[in-house]
Amino acid sequence: MLQLEKISTIVSGISFRALGAGSTRFMRLADLTDIKAGRIPALAMGERPAVARALMIEEGDLVIGARGDVTEVCVAENYLTGAFISLDLYLVRPNPSFVDPHYLAAFLELPTTQAALSGGKQGTGLARLAKEALAKTEIPLPPMPQQRLIAGLAQSYEQEARLLKQLANLSSFFGREAVSRAILAADTEHNFTRSAQ
């Protein structure tokens, strides 16, 4: 096992002012929530940060929520590349010679890891995960082929959960539509019977 800081670069988000006409994209905590819900977020626009520690998101980076009851994690896909992270997010850039990004995300999303991360949160209200607590998280590192198999397994379960959620939403929609049509048909028949009398 190695601490996260030994196998990755960890960067805190930066403050920015949203400008509709800005030239630089910023990912916010709400965008991470959208991604976890299966939606592609509309990133905020602002001025390019002048802070030296600001890193642009690269494909394969992990974006981790610093606030909230659940420590949300996503692996950056191509639509996030080139954006910066705002406050309340951490960017974790895994060293590919040590860890597969999807394996790392799967480990960070485990209930036991989530409980440990919750213990590292500070403050009242919407508690914040301290960067130090994230950095000191110990990561088990099986050989890379096993990491990739575990990552694939985790991704298949995530995909199944998304599909089941979509199916439930469609079922609910069609159920409401069927009830609506039944009410309309019953009302039309009732009005037709009354007018025929």
Residue 195 has pLDDT above 70, yes or no: no
Residue 191 has pLDDT above 80, yes or no: no
Residue 192 — pLDDT band, cuts 50, 70, 90? low
Is residue 34 located within the same domain as residue 99?
Answer: yes
Domain's final residue, options 122, 141, 160:
141
Local structure of 139: helix, strand or coil:
strand
Amino acid found at 11: V
Is residue 123 located within the same domain as residue 163?
Answer: no
Q: What is the pLDDT of residue 36?
A: 86
Local structure of 76: helix, strand or coil:
coil
Is residue 120 located within the same domain as residue 25?
Answer: yes
Task: Report the CATH number that the domain containing residue 13 is assigned in CATH.
Answer: 3.90.220.20
Is residue 164 located within the same domain as residue 137?
Answer: no
Is residue 80 located within the same domain as residue 132?
Answer: yes
Residue 140 DSSP one-character state: -
Q: CB-hemisphere CA count at 13 Å for 48?
A: 6
Residue 85 — pLDDT band, cuts 50, 70, 90? very high
Domain's final residue, options 99, 123, 141:
141
Q: pLDDT tens, 117-176?
A: 998 888 777 789 999 999 999 999 999 999 999 999 998 888 777 777 778 878 888 888
Local structure of 122: helix, strand or coil:
strand
User: Domain of 183?
Assistant: 142-197
Is residue 22 located within the same domain as residue 117?
Answer: yes
Is residue 8 located within the same domain as residue 71?
Answer: yes
Q: How many domains does the chain have?
A: 2
Residue 146 token pair: 């096993």
Domain's final residue, options 97, 125, 141:
141
Is residue 79 located within the same domain as residue 171?
Answer: no
Is residue 78 located within the same domain as residue 172?
Answer: no
Is residue 64 located within the same domain as residue 134?
Answer: yes
Name beta bridge partners: 46. 18, 24
Is residue 13 located within the same domain as residue 98?
Answer: yes
Q: Phi/psi at 34 (nearest 5 deg)?
A: -60, -45
Q: Mean pLDDT across the chain, nearest whole number?
A: 89
Is residue 148 located within the same domain as residue 115?
Answer: no
